[in-house]
Amino acid sequence: MSVTRRTFLTAACGWPAALVFAQDADVATALPSWNAGAATQALVEYVRTVTREGSPDFIPVPERIAVFDNDGTLWPENPLPFQAIFILDALQRKIRQQPALAENPHVKATLAGDLNALMADHGKGLFAVLALVHDGVTVDEFEQQVNDWISTAKHPRFGRRYDECVYQPMLEVLTYLRANGFKTFIVSGGGADFMRVWSERVYGIPPEQVIGSHGGAKFELRDGNPVLVKTTSTIFIDDKEGKPVGIHQLIGRRPVMCFGNSDGDKAMLEYTTINNRRASFGMIVHHTDAEREYAYDAQPKSTGKLVEALADAGKRGWVVADMKRDFKRVFPFDQ
């Protein structure tokens, strides 16, 4: 039985009072935006176990790799994944410069939100639109575009900059794990070049620890200056079964902790926790709070479907964090 399973069950079955007190003290200090409960107990107990010298489950620092999905795990993915809104904004800016683009059938489908049309023929329409926004743009220009957008655009419901709409309890988990020698990585279906612009400032995660979907790039000296030009001739989708592949290609070893929120994270939860020679930990953030954020799992309007991973949570020993029950505060700006 893995540590995950053991601690999860033990936590669910109740601790001796003294131990509960000690753990709650840790939670109160390191994870103040969480309500103490089975989820935080399992997390704190896991970290204690694997970082205690002499413990049979001790994990040396270089192997303390923790991976986090981004959309829906560290920040919301509703009403649309934020990067989709960035791409829509970029597309509309491009149409203002080249009005004829509005007649392009893929552009029309995008603006109409016609996902079926975009995904037909192996996503031909979606890739055509991605190419419109990314192809021929240098990496530096793209970084500037993302910076301009994230400094000004506001979330339609919360009225805040998107990079303010991050989950305070998860920021605390990132800090808590790093304080315990873990290296924290993002492993997201979102674009690596999009996230790296702000991941260090917002999450404390440097660009080299951000794994995401990505196109290609071409190096050239332009007027004597080195530039990397983005291309979409090849695209790697870092989602579902692509996540363990992305982890292997960028990290090159199995994580021991994995945090996700949707079926898109199931494969990396499996990769992290099944028959890992190290004690492992998996957590699913369950969106249950329509009042403070969103409530969805089986029938989401857009992304973030959570059915299979939730069904497997029990048998895999994945801890389910119920946002309504477990998050004392959702966003940093909440009172």
Q: What dihedral angle (degrees, nearest 10) is formed by the CA atoms of 17, 19, 24, 25?
A: 120
Q: Select from 77-85, 212-220, 284-292, 299-307 the region that touches its own copies (CB under 8 A).
A: 212-220
Q: Which of 98, 147, 151, 249 binds its own copies (CB under 8 A)?
A: 249
Q: Which of 105, 248, 311, 334 binds its own copies (CB under 8 A)?
A: 248
In the chain, which ranges are E strands?
A: 65-68, 183-191, 210-222, 225-236, 257-260, 281-286, 319-322
| Comparison of 208 and 334: residue with beta carbon closer to its own copies | 208
* Contact (Cβ atoms closer than 8 angstroms) between residue 294 and residue 287: yes
Q: Does 192 bind its own copies (CB under 8 A)?
A: yes
Q: Select from 51-59, 97-105, 190-198, 280-288 the region that touches its own copies (CB under 8 A).
A: 190-198
Q: Which of 100, 221, 233, 335 binds its own copies (CB under 8 A)?
A: 221
Q: How many Å apart are CA 36 and CA 25, to the nearest integer?
A: 9
Q: Which of 218, 290, 311, 334 binds its own copies (CB under 8 A)?
A: 218
| Comparison of 113 and 216: residue with beta carbon closer to its own copies | 216
Count of H-run helices and E-run strands, the chain: 14, 7
* Contact (Cβ atoms closer than 8 angstroms) between residue 223 and residue 234: no
What are the backbone angles phi and psi of residue 232, rounded to the nearest 5°?
Answer: -120, 25
- 234 three-class SS: strand
CB neighbours of residue 303 within 10 Å: 18
Q: Which of 66, 210, 256, 285 binds its own copies (CB under 8 A)?
A: 210
Q: How many Å apart are CA 299 and CA 178, to the nearest integer?
A: 35
Q: Does 196 bind its own copies (CB under 8 A)?
A: yes
Q: Are strands 225-236 and 210-222 parallel, antiparallel or unpaired?
A: antiparallel
Name the minimum Å distance from CB 2 to its own copies: 14
Q: Which of 241, 301, 308, 311 binds its own copies (CB under 8 A)?
A: 241
Taking residues 121 to 160 in sequence order and writing x for each that binds its own copies by CB under 8 A, - otherwise, the string is: ------------------x---------------------
Q: Which of 148, 208, 308, 334 binds its own copies (CB under 8 A)?
A: 208
Q: Cβ contacts of residue 200 below 8 Å, gap of 6+?
A: 206, 207
Name which of residues 86 to 125 contact its own copies (CB under 8 A): none
Could you identify the residue written with the tokens 């492993």?
A: 187
| Comparison of 23 and 280: residue with beta carbon closer to its own copies | 280
Q: Footprint of its own copies on this chain (CB under 8 A)? A: 62, 65, 139, 183, 192-193, 196, 200, 206-210, 214, 216-221, 224-226, 228, 234, 241-245, 248-253, 267, 270-271, 274-275
